[in-house]
Amino acid sequence: MRYMLTLIGPDGGWDDETTPEQMNEEMAHWERFGNDAVDAGAFVAGEGLQPPSTSKTVHGGRDEERVVTDGPFAETKEQVGGFYVLECKDLDEAVEWAKRCPIRAGAIEVRPVMDYAEYGYEDPADAGATPAS
């Protein structure tokens, strides 16, 4: 089963005072974690995210007019900084991966990914579809 590890940290995260050497050292931790997940056959996907100031939020449901606003959905002192999707045998294994994640501060939400196959949904990625450009 797939699990999403959502990395949640303090707003601001990296400041302008972080040196290239400090950033290289920090990234080495993340590289080790990613390589361990790949080597274990657990890695499905993972990315870091740009700061909330670079984002837009689209509000409204399928049958409503969509409204676009700048930034994150709500004022918060924490932000989603990145994610991993891992293939794990169960929630306990996914939690063990989260415990190994080299996040400096904050929290990691571990949540199972929905599987809609039983309802006849075929994931376009699994069907060999190519993304629109």
Encode pLDDT of 83-131 as tens digits: 999 999 999 999 999 999 999 889 999 999 998 888 989 878 776 655 5
Residue 35 has a pLDDT of 97
**What's the pLDDT at 99?**
97
Give residue 128's pLDDT.
64
Fold of 2-11+22-119: Alpha-Beta Plaits (3.30.70)
Question: Is-contact 3 114, C-beta < 8 A?
Answer: no
Structural domain spans, the chain: 2-11+22-119
CB of 112 closer than 8 Å to CB of 98: no
Average pLDDT score over residue span 75-81: 79
Q: What is the pTM of this model?
A: 0.81
| Res 77: pLDDT | 76
CB atoms within 10 A of CB 128: 6
35 token code pair: 């390589």
Q: Tell whether the model's pLDDT for residue 65 goes beyond 80.
A: yes
Amino acid in position 128: G
Nearest to 100 by CA among 77, 84, 80, 81: 84
SS3 of 33, please?
Answer: helix
The closest alpha carbon to 52, from 23, 26, 73, belongs to 73
Q: pLDDT band for 15, please (50, 70, 90 cuts).
A: low
- The proportion of the chain whose per-residue pLDDT surpasses 90, expressed as a percent, equals 55
pLDDT value of residue 73: 58
